[in-house]
């Protein structure tokens, strides 16, 4: 069956964000007087459980006696988000390898693109701005306030499929983490995984393929280069 929609499943599929996020967390801790510092290996292990605020609470409970409650955790996460936005706004950032080429291929073929993320709307749009991708590139963009639950819940994909009026086998998802893969597969959407630098060691059983980046996926795996991309000018709605 022809692929009518290609979904980018999160900000990390478009831009290598993991180390920027880790640094933003550490900056937030310093700004709030905490002597915490998340090293790369430590942070990599934390990424198995999505949700920044919960990650802070889990860390406080397990590794620290700092007495961080939900109110402080929420403030820390808000501060982290502000530091992250400042970093991507002021940085000279490039999309991940192969991203622009795949987007161009889909646009040329008339295949719809979606951005099925459960991050906050400001962050999703900030990443697109940072790498020079117009929001109008995507026929649909989700965010945390639009769906009932964050990944690994399949809500973002189910929302997109319903809004676009397509079945799960008419789409393909691109994800960069185990939780993203789970969200896509629970919605029945075949998923290609391009891990980020801090999600390389996660479990990707059930993925169509796992590749370092989209450029490699399109060449060595021949997965996206041979997609039967459908002209969706009349096939996809936005009900």
Say yes or no: 199 and 118 in one domain: yes
Say yes or no: 80 and 156 in one domain: no
Q: Is residue 75 a part of any domain in this protein?
A: yes
Say yes or no: 9 and 22 in one domain: no
Say yes or no: 34 and 61 in one domain: yes
Q: Is residue 83 a part of any domain in this protein?
A: yes
Read off the pTM. Answer: 0.88
pLDDT value for 239: 37
Contact by Cβ (8 Å): 227, 169 = no
Say yes or no: 12 and 24 in one domain: no
pLDDT value for 62: 83
Say yes or no: 177 and 105 in one domain: yes
Say yes or no: 68 and 101 in one domain: no
Contact by Cβ (8 Å): 2, 229 = yes
Q: Is residue 177 a part of any domain in this protein?
A: yes
pLDDT value for 61: 86
List of E strands, the chain:
5-8, 112-115, 140-141, 171-175, 191-193, 209-210
Q: Is residue 235 a part of any domain in this protein?
A: no
Q: Is residue 138 a part of any domain in this protein?
A: yes
pLDDT value for 2: 80
Say yes or no: 119 and 213 in one domain: yes
Say yes or no: 110 and 78 in one domain: no
Say yes or no: 132 and 207 in one domain: yes
Domain CATH number, residue 49 = 1.10.150.240
Which helix (H) or strand (E) covers residue 104, if one does? Answer: helix 99-109
Per-residue confidence in pLDDT tens, the chain, 239 aa: 688 999 999 999 999 999 999 999 999 999 999 999 999 999 998 887 778 888 999 999 887 666 789 999 999 999 999 999 999 997 779 999 999 999 998 998 889 999 999 999 999 999 999 999 999 999 999 999 999 999 999 999 999 999 999 999 999 999 999 999 999 999 999 999 999 999 999 999 999 999 988 887 765 445 565 555 555 444 454 43
Phi and psi dihedrals of 236, rounded to 5? Answer: -115, 130
Say yes or no: 66 and 155 in one domain: no
Residue among 181, 172, 189, 178 nearest 225 (CA): 172
Q: Is residue 228 a part of any domain in this protein?
A: no
Domain CATH number, residue 137 = 3.40.50.1000
Whole domain around residue 83: which residue ranges? 18-90
């Amino acid at each position: 069956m022809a692929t009518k929609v290609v979904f980018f499943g999160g900000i990390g599929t478009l831009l290598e964000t993991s180390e920027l996020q880790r640094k933003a967390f550490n900056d937030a801790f310093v700004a709030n007087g905490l002597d915490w510092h998340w090293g790369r290996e430590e942070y990599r292990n934390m990424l198995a459980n999505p949700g920044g605020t919960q990650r802070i609470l889990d860390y406080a409970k397990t590794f620290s006696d700092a007495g961080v409650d939900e109110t402080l955790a929420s403030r820390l996460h808000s501060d982290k988000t502000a530091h992250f936005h400042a970093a991507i706004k002021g940085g000279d950032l490039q999309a991940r390898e192969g991203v622009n080429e795949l987007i161009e291929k889909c646009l040329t073929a008339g295949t719809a693109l979606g951005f099925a993320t459960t991050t906050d709307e400001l962050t999703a749009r900030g990443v697109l701005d940072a790498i020079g991708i117009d929001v109008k590139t995507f026929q649909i963009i989700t965010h945390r306030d639009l769906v009932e639950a964050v990944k690994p819940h399949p809500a973002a994909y189910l929302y997109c499929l319903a809004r676009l009026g397509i079945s799960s086998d008419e789409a393909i998802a691109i994800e960069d983490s185990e939780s993203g893969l789970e969200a896509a597969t629970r919605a029945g959407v075949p998923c290609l995984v391009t891990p980020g630098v801090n999600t390389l060691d996660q479990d990707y059983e059930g993925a169509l393929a796992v590749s370092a980046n989209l450029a490699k996926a399109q060449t060595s795996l021949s997965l996206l280069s041979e997609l039967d991309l459908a002209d969706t000018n009349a096939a996809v709605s936005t009900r």
